[in-house]
Structure 1
Amino acid sequence: MNDIRHLTLRERIYEEIVRMIVSGELPSGAPLDEKALTEKLQVSRTPFREALGTLSKEGLIEIKPYRGFFVRSFSKKETEDLYELRKTLECFAVELAVPQMSDRHIANFERILDEAVAALKADDMVAYGQADREFHETIAELSGNAALIETLSRLALQIQIGRTIANESHTFAEDAARERDDILAAFRRRDIKTAAALMHAHISDVQRTVLARFEEVKPVKR
């Protein structure tokens, strides 16, 4: 999350609601109690609803006329489709990014992965998730493809929810860290084909973990 001292009121509300959704404090399908949340956040209805409008456009909040606001529920099919799209987009990002990578870029990836490992050792899964997200976002940025970067950015919060579910398993997180080390090794060799294949396998592992958990996490009845 960004430092809230540099955010507008609407942005601060947005960030806090995202945190509650990603952490599971506001679970899938849950209604948003406007009165309770505005009191908790100590804000008025206008900026609160502006923040929800943004989240609705990003696919995390559903606005139902005469019923209110709800955390969006993703069906198993929607979740599977999201990860199939993510594999295509991120593998394409790798193919475009690898030729652009300098030694400085490689060093930055090493820093990110070192931070991820340190977070794992400290059992700090929030910091681990942040490093994980930075790793993938940095690859997208290096692709230099504005349309690709924008598309992945629009999907980022939906992907983050899946990432949070997967990272609840410490064993999975350790395996994922090793997979990213393999990807980094391919980056060092500037081996585009291997790096893309490893990224595809990595996201497939996340997909399987999230879908396996899907049956365990039942949406809130409305």
Structure 2
Amino acid sequence: MNAPRHLTLRERIYEEIVRMIVSGELPSGAPLDEKALTERLQVSRTPFREALGTLAKEGLIEIRPYRGFYVRSFSRKETEDLYELRKTLECFAVELAVPHMSDRHIEQFERILDAAVGALQAGDIQAYGLHDKEFHETISELSGNAALIETLARLALQIQVGRTIANESKVFAERAIRERDDILAAFRERNIARARQLMHAHISDVQRAVLERFEGE
């Protein structure tokens, strides 16, 4: 595992399992083969199960008695509820963040968006998703509301799984870039109402893209 040296073994296992889930290598509903994964990661069962316990608390892993560990499957209703909550929280974050945005912050958002566009043009959807995540997390941090930041952080992994599903569509990803460009323009104008409206529309677009997957199943 290519992990930073400062992480504990349990944290390294955690990060690798998260990567496999978010990338789709471990798809929704899939069982986790404990023997195969511990051998692949070259770790023992104890830290492996500790990492899965953390992921279970965060809602990405299900522990089924006598059956083992499974990647959590989200129902259509659970997914819809998650995105309705996300819209409320992130729009609130925008309202709080915009008044705190300096020109330096705007430049930071531009760099993030430039990197996202570059990843999209290179066909690297996984990198695009990471820049998208950074964009939203930066807004959250600028809100200055500790309770809001903590709540969004707890939902981050579930949101990231949804983001990965939506970003599988290149058309959606290109549309999302245009939406965020509009949001950036609202940031420059310090137009809170417009920025909030655009964020709500952007997340609603992601929500539709994710929920469309349920229609085909």
The residue number in structure 2 matching 1:143 is 143
The residue number in structure 2 matching 1:92 is 92
**Maintained 8 Å contact 2:23/2:126:** no
Question: How far apart are 1:214 and its partner, in Å?
Answer: 2.1
Q: Give distance in 2, aligned partners of 1:213 and 1:190.
A: 36
Q: Give distance in 1, aligned partners of 2:130 and 2:49.
A: 27
Q: Give distance in 1, aligned partners of 2:8 and 2:39.
A: 18
Secondary structure in 2 matching 1:4:
coil
One-letter amino acid matched to 1:65: P
Q: TM-score, normalised by structure 1?
A: 0.95
The residue number in structure 2 matching 1:28 is 28
**Regions of 4+ moved over 4 Å:** none
Q: Is 1:155 aligned to 2:155, yes or no?
A: yes
The residue number in structure 1 matching 2:174 is 174
Which one has more relative contact order, counting CA pairs under 8 Å at least 6 apart? 1
One-letter amino acid matched to 2:185: A
Secondary structure in 2 matching 1:62:
strand
One-letter amino acid matched to 2:178: R
The residue number in structure 2 matching 1:115 is 115
Q: Give distance in 1, aligned partners of 2:23 and 2:215.
A: 18
Deviations 1:42-89 (A, max 9, x none): 100011011001101100001122221111110000000000000000
Q: Give distance in 1, aligned partners of 2:47 and 2:77.
A: 33
The number of aligned residues is: 216
**Maintained 8 Å contact 2:140/2:149:** yes
Question: How far apart are 1:3 and its partner, in Å?
Answer: 4.7
Q: Give distance in 2, aligned partners of 1:167 and 1:84.
A: 19
The residue number in structure 2 matching 1:194 is 194
Q: TM-score, normalised by structure 2?
A: 0.97
Deviates more, 1:63-72 or 1:76-85: 63-72
Identity fraction in percent: 83
**Maintained 8 Å contact 2:141/2:149:** yes
Where in structure 2 are there 5+ consecutive unaligned residues?
none
